[in-house]
Amino acid sequence: MRSRQPVGSDLFISLALSLLLGTSPASHAAGDPKRGAATFAQECALCHSVQEGRNKLGPSLFGVVGRKAGSIADYIYSAPMKQSNFVWSPDKIDTYIADPQQVVPGDKMKYHGLADEKDRADVIAYLSTLH
């Protein structure tokens, strides 16, 4: 029975553990494109194709890393995305898929955001392979 241990110390141990795991070298390494492909299939593929020129509810994400935002000619973007003036760097994509509205307020990507940093790194690693 562990009832003698104060609740706080359990919490502390799990916090310390997650901090330890969170700062392990692996989580700072580049994302895993294979894992990213699976996460993409689950989280993004409903609205996005990775085939060049194939738009769904969202624009094709073929070659999106390094592409100017809102620049696919035959896709109808929201006005804020169309008028935005930046290039999709891995960092930009990271903040965007964590919270789309934070990067492009008024954006029309109705996506709740991918909370897990590792999942985002994996998806970005996968997107980086599409050229």
> Site mask, ligand HEC, residues 12-51, x = CB under 6 A?
-------------------------------xx-xxx---
Q: Which stretch binds ligand HEC (CB under 6 A): 8-16, 25-33, 74-82?
A: 74-82
Q: Which residue has the tokens 């999942």?
A: 119
Q: Could you tell me if 113 and 93 are in contact, meaning their C-beta atoms sit under 8 angstroms apart?
A: no
Residue 10 C-beta: closest distance to ligand HEC, Å: 33
Q: What is the DSSP string of 48-110?
A: ---STT--SSS---TT-TTPBTT--TTS---HHHHH---B--HHHHHHHHH-HHHHSTT----
Residue 122 binding ligand HEC, by CB under 6 A: no
Q: Which stretch binds ligand HEC (CB under 6 A): 3-11, 12-20, 23-31, 93-101?
A: 93-101
Q: Which stretch binds ligand HEC (CB under 6 A): 4-12, 15-23, 28-36, 57-65?
A: 57-65
Q: Which residue has the tokens 């960092």?
A: 91
Q: Could you tell me if 70 and 86 are in contact, meaning their C-beta atoms sit under 8 angstroms apart?
A: no
Angstrom distance (rounded) from CA 2 to CA 33 = 42
Residues making contact with ligand HEC (CB under 6 A): 43-44, 46-48, 57-59, 61, 64, 69-70, 72, 77-78, 81, 88, 93, 96-97, 107-111, 114, 123
